[in-house]
Structure 1
Amino acid sequence: MEMDPDDFEDLVNDVFDALPAEVTDGLENVAIAIEDLPEDGSLDLLGLYHGVDLTERDQYGFGEMPDLISLYRLPLLDFCADEVDLREQVRVTLVHEIGHYYGIDDEELHRLGWG
């Protein structure tokens, strides 16, 4: 599937805005970035959480750089057949990476259906 970067960003914003409040209300100092590819250039990784999850933080004050959730546009487009599929996969990927922010590991995310 193909989609230009601006349309992809609009889709991601729409999907994020539609996430339930229980998923997004606790997010603090987290940026979401859209990148074409992960550092290794592969099409295997759809998203990645960069940061220290809430369960590992001692104290959170002022001046910290934001945590980052990266969504990888080209792998997501390659993975999906159409826009409906893309919206669902962006939703799953966002929830998965937000889960890591809250300290939920891959095994638990898979058990919950967000793997």
Structure 2
Amino acid sequence: MFEMAAAAFEELVVDELDRLPDDMIDGLENVVFVVEDRPEDGSLDLLGLYDGWALTERDRYGVGELPDRIIVYREPHLAVCEDERELRDEIHTTLVHEIAHFYGIDDDRLHELGWA
């Protein structure tokens, strides 16, 4: 397992977010990005999670709504990566995957596109 402190991992997530295309990020409304050590069940199986309503499933989205969350899990990423280059690639893929869920793209389509 690759080792990295929580603060350094969070910096990598922010750096990879900055590298994503503007047209992917510009449509995100009321979404926050969160880094957590592990999913609530303590497993290392889940790299990320979109917690919210997909854009395609929203009737209306008003003022006062809690933000949707895209969660990136640190320990599962470290468990599947051997070095920083591989970690950056996996974080990038996780961010694209979870952002795609915001836009209403399901796991089957993400598999077809090579992002799952």
TM interval, shorter chain, is over 0.9
Q: Hey, what does 1:23 align to over in structure 2?
A: 24
CA RMSD of aligned residues (A): 0.6
* Identical positions, percent: 60
Q: Secondary structure at the match of 1:34?
A: strand
Structure-2 separation of matches of 1:82 and 1:23 = 27
The runs of 5 or more residues in structure 2 that have no matched partner are: none
**TM-score, with length taken from structure 1:** 0.98
Q: Hey, what does 1:72 align to over in structure 2?
A: 73
Cα drift, residue 22 of structure 1: 2.0
Structure-1 separation of matches of 2:80 and 2:26 = 29
Structure-2 separation of matches of 1:22 and 1:109 = 18
Q: Hey, what does 2:104 align to over in structure 1?
A: 103
Q: Which runs of 4+ in 1 moved over 2 A?
A: none
Q: Secondary structure at the match of 1:64?
A: coil
Alignment of 1:88 with 2:107, yes or no, is no
**TM-score, with length taken from structure 2:** 0.97
The runs of 5 or more residues in structure 1 that have no matched partner are: none
Paired residues, number: 115
Cα drift, residue 104 of structure 1: 0.3
